[in-house]
Amino acid sequence: MTRLHTGRFLLRPFTTADAPAFAAAVRESAASLGPWMGWAHAAYTVDEARSWIAFCEAARAAGHAHEFGIFLDDGETLVGGAGLNQLNTVHAFCNLGYWVRTSQQRQGAALAAVGALTRYAFEVVKQARVEIVIADGNLPSMAVARKAGAVHECLARKRLQLRGAAVDAHVFSLVPD
């Protein structure tokens, strides 16, 4: 199992045993995540978490995505989630996404995850470019991207689907030096 150590945080693939903690983190964070992540809602269930974890396992096995839980360095205390997905095998780029539960926000977890996953994307997954695409108005996520050194390239019109509607999104990129 791939484990990425980032100082006080550990990124590792979710396991079925993480489902109750995952569901609790989503429910705790529905108010802050919900506006930006359509799947995050106040009644998020353990069964929904199990389905997501099974999807992540299948996507990892197929080489389509690399999703991780963000944990404290004990490997047990769930802080959030982050991953590489939408891998473009022709042009060697992917999307990097992240979320942090409300009680753990503003403590460096998202920034640590972006750093670890960017290195993983370049060194292991062999990507030439990593994109972070953020719905317009999501200022905390934009701040993380900027702090991680991502370059703001544009505000792309109707770039993301959010609750069935196309919304504008900022495109940030990271490339190897």
pLDDT digits (tens, 9 = 90+) for 56-114: 999 999 999 999 999 999 888 999 999 999 999 999 999 999 999 999 999 999 999 99
- pTM here is 0.94
Give the chain's domains with CATH numbers: 4-174 (3.40.630.30)
Give the residue among 76, 135, 83 at the shortest CA–CA distance from 114: 83
> pLDDT tens digits, residue range 6-62?
989 999 999 999 999 999 999 999 999 999 998 999 999 999 999 999 999 999 999
Does 1 score more than 80 pLDDT?
no
Output the average pLDDT for the chain. Answer: 96
Instruction: Give the whole-angstrom CA distance, residue 75 versus residue 51.
Output: 21
For residue 23, CA distances in Å to 34, 51, 76, 79, 159 come to 14, 11, 14, 12, 28
Q: Which tokens sit at 14?
A: 């979710």
Residue 61: count other Cβ atoms within 10 Å of its Cβ.
8
